[in-house]
């Protein structure tokens, strides 16, 4: 009889212990992921820059069709994609997959998700990663 009454109690303690372990583990994992992502992002930005120049540069560097058409539609300040600070990752990925006006869509065979991720991270990189002066703490754009 006694053991019958203890079983549900033990089960409950077991569940609480399990919940604490899961919480502790997820805490540990999320701090680990945050610590790692800083290095990852610097690396991704570098990788994204190379990919942007290789895959988008034909149209989106100075003199490219994309640059010329964006200058016409949005003005010279927003013509060069890699200097824009008003774009977000979702928009860049969406436009790249579906295309826009004169820009052809890029599918996952031509441009895998991992490469597009890196490109979007590069284009939306923080101000501190934009100019050598800003990165060295010498200021930059106000
Ligand atoms: C064949 C030329 C071409 C290539 C390659 C190309 N683009 Fe474009 N892209 C364009 C043109 C042209 C436009 C402007 C269309 C318009 O709005 O009139 C454009 C517009 C865009 C826009 C919209 C900007 C805005 O403010 O609305 C984004 C984002 C973009 N391109 C991202 C990319 C990325 C990322 C790549 C590389 C993976 C890429 N493009 C490759 C031609 C190209």
Q: Which atom of ligand 1 lies at the shortest distance from residue 92's CA?
A: 29
Q: Is 112 in the pocket of ligand 1 (CB under 6 A)?
A: no
Closest CA to 50 of 79, 82, 77: 82
Is 1 domain-assigned? no
Pocket lining: 89 vs ligand 1, CB cutoff 6 Å: no
Rounded to the nearest 10°, the torsion over CA 43, 46, 52, 55 is -70
In a domain, 112, yes or no: yes
Domain that holds residue 50: 40-131
- Residues 70, 89: Cα–Cα separation, whole Å: 18
Give the pLDDT confidence of 62-102 residue by residue, as tens digits. Answer: 999 999 999 999 999 999 999 999 999 999 999 999 999 99
Enumerate long-range contacts of 28-36, CB under 8 Å, 24 or more apart: none
18 in a structural domain: no
pLDDT confidence of residue 131: 76
Please tell me the total count of domains within the chain: 1
- Which CATH number characterizes residue 97's domain? 1.10.760.10
Q: Render pLDDT for 102-140 as a digit per residue (tens, 0 to 9).
A: 999 999 999 999 999 999 999 999 999 997 654 455 444
60 CB within 6 A, ligand 1:
yes
The answer to whether residue 71 sits within a structural domain is yes
Coil, helix or strand at residue 45: helix
Considering the domain boundaries, does residue 25 fall inside one?
no
CA distance 92 to 88: 6
Q: What is the pLDDT of residues 27-62, one digit of tens each?
A: 455 554 454 556 678 999 999 999 999 999 999 999
**Per-residue model confidence (pLDDT) at position 27:** 45
Ligand 1 atom showing the smallest separation from residue 70 Cα: 14
The answer to whether residues 93 and 118 touch, using CB atoms and an 8 Å cutoff, is no
Distance of alpha carbon 3 from alpha carbon 23, whole angstroms: 30
User: Does residue 82 belong to any structural domain of this protein?
Assistant: yes
Looking at residue 4, its pLDDT comes to 46
Q: What's the confidence (pLDDT) of residue 41?
A: 82
Residue 53 belongs to a domain:
yes
Residue 30 lies in a domain: no
* Paired tokens of 138: 């010498």
| pLDDT for 99 | 98
Confirm or reject: Cβ of 96 under 6 Å from ligand 1: yes
């Amino acid at each position: 009889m006694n053991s019958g009454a203890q079983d549900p109690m033990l089960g409950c303690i077991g569940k609480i212990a399990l919940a604490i372990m899961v919480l502790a583990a997820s805490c540990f994992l999320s701090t680990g992921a945050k610590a790692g992502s800083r290095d990852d992002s610097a690396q991704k930005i570098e990788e994204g820059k190379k990919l942007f120049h290789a895959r988008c540069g034909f149209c989106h560097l100075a003199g490219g069709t994309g640059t010329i058409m964006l200058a016409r539609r949005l003005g010279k300040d927003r013509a060069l994609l890699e200097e824009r600070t008003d774009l977000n990752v979702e928009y860049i990925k969406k436009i790249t997959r579906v295309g826009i006006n004169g820009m052809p869509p890029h599918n996952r065979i031509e441009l895998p998700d991992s490469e597009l991720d890196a490109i979007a991270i590069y284009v939306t990189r923080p101000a501190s990663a934009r100019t050598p002066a800003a990165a060295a703490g010498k200021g930059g754009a106000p």
